[in-house]
Amino acid sequence: MRALIFRGPNDYSVEEKPVPQIGEGEVLLKIIACGLCGTDVKVFGNGHRAITPPRTTGHEIVGVVEDSKSGKAGVAKGDKVLVVAPIGCMKCNFCLRGEQNICPVVVERVHAFGYDTDGGFAEYMRVPKDAADQGVLVKIPETAIPLTLLAVAEPLACVLNGQEKLRIGPDDVVVVIGAGPIGSLHVVAARAQGAKKIILADIDSAKLARAAVSHADVSIDSSKENLAERVRKETDGRGADVVIVAAPAPSLQTEAIEMAAVRARVSFFAGLAKGTASPLIDTNKIHYWEIEVYGAFGACRKQYEKAMQLILARPADFQTLITHIMPLEDIKKAVELMKAGQTIKVVITP
């Protein structure tokens, strides 16, 4: 079969490799689509602490069951499935509650498809027994929508994990900082929650223009005006009820607190590069204004299910975010397009 093989920083290519053999308790998937994520691009350039080469990456996976030797995965040959990327230890309290995304082996070692386990940039993928047993395969119901669209379910599930904590409702003005694929998904998800007004900001006007398909109510080029001031203007001086930081700059975390209203909910959704100095944050404002600040890391099965339902219910909202569908052989071209900022979401079809 053809598979992408990552061998080290800036050393990856599509090569011939045997179709994986599956053992007792395992499942073999034929890959239909796998989203290309900003993290993949970072991995190709710099490697990743959890990845020991050679490795097939790709964690936004849609496939069809080719063969199953698992009595626990709940799938049969021919079923179309989403793959939940994190693989938990199934011993800790988080795993026992079905929240594998914050299991210590996931947080510390990134035990997940596309990281320490071969992922979806290949024609076939093996689902190991520990993963199959804990239910990483989510069955996709019969649907007329193209299955490539469901490659967005993984990043959307992560977005929903972040937004669940923010309790977005019809009284809320939501600010999303960062107009990349994740920021765009945040806009669409906040809309589905019925937010009163959604403001999308970025320092890159071209990115902001492309993200117009996510239909934010207000777009702000924060390279040209002071974002916190403008947000106060847009909210009659109150500030934003919800602020989502979907870009990896420490100064944005400072600004997020600056533009927050009394009892605002703030998500530091984007992680900062390792070694980045922590920004100076007005913790007294957090205290007196009862501001809630949240982190978010990955997603668990119930959020993948929610993401799938949302895509099936509103396919047009997500269709517009996929700017490129490309074959596996063109993955380097796809990476270059992404680096050049010419894409929103790229989906690879092995």
Distance of alpha carbon 79 from alpha carbon 73, whole angstroms: 11
Distance of alpha carbon 151 from alpha carbon 344, whole angstroms: 13
Q: Which is nearer to Zn ion, 118 or 258 (CB)?
A: 118
Of the residues 37, 81, 156, 177, which one makes contact with Zn ion according to CB under 5 A: 37
CB of 121 to Zn ion, least distance (A): 12
Interface segment toward Zn ion; rule CB under 5 A; list 10-18, 31-39, 191-199, 223-231: 31-39
Interface segment toward Zn ion; rule CB under 5 A; list 37-45, 114-122, 133-141, 227-235: 37-45
By three-state DSSP, how is residue 155 classified?
helix
Distance of alpha carbon 70 from alpha carbon 126, whole angstroms: 12
CB of 37 to Zn ion, least distance (A): 3
CB of 347 to Zn ion, least distance (A): 12
88 binds Zn ion per the rule CB under 5 A: yes
By three-state DSSP, how is residue 224 classified?
coil
Q: Which is nearer to Zn ion, 242 or 347 (CB)?
A: 347
CA atoms lying within 13 Å on the CB side of residue 177: 30
Contact between 311 and 156 under an 8 Å Cβ cutoff? The reply is yes
Distance of alpha carbon 96 from alpha carbon 88, whole angstroms: 9
CB of 19 to Zn ion, least distance (A): 25
Structure tokens at 165: 């904590």
Distance of alpha carbon 189 from alpha carbon 153, whole angstroms: 12
Interface segment toward Zn ion; rule CB under 5 A; list 80-88, 164-172, 186-194, 226-234: 80-88
Q: Which is nearer to Zn ion, 31 or 103 (CB)?
A: 103
Interface segment toward Zn ion; rule CB under 5 A; list 39-47, 173-181, 261-269, 271-279: 39-47
Nearest to 244 by CA among 318, 313, 312, 165: 165
Size of the site for Zn ion (CB under 5 A): 7
239 binds Zn ion per the rule CB under 5 A: no
Q: Which is nearer to Zn ion, 222 or 267 (CB)?
A: 267
Backbone angles phi and psi of 106, in degrees to 5: -80, -45
CB of 134 to Zn ion, least distance (A): 9
218 binds Zn ion per the rule CB under 5 A: no
CB of 111 to Zn ion, least distance (A): 9
299 binds Zn ion per the rule CB under 5 A: no
CB of 65 to Zn ion, least distance (A): 23
Write down the residue that tokens 């106060």 correspond to.
232
CB of 92 to Zn ion, least distance (A): 3
Nearest to 84 by CA among 130, 48, 20, 141: 130
Binding to Zn ion, residues 89-108 (CB under 5 A): 89, 92, 95, 103
Q: Which is nearer to Zn ion, 39 or 320 (CB)?
A: 39
Alpha helices in 262-323, H assignment, sequence order? 283-288, 301-313, 315-319
Write down the residue that tokens 């694929």 correspond to.
181
Report CA-CA distances (Å) from 316 to 155, 214, 312, 322.
17, 10, 9, 10
Interface segment toward Zn ion; rule CB under 5 A; list 15-23, 35-43, 244-252, 279-287: 35-43
Largest Cα span, the chain: 62
Q: Which is nearer to Zn ion, 28 or 159 (CB)?
A: 159
Q: Which is nearer to Zn ion, 39 or 319 (CB)?
A: 39
Q: Which is nearer to Zn ion, 91 or 224 (CB)?
A: 91
Nearest to 220 by CA among 188, 256, 178: 178
Q: Which is nearer to Zn ion, 185 or 291 (CB)?
A: 185
Which stretches of the chain bind Zn ion, using CB under 5 A? 37, 39, 88-89, 92, 95, 103
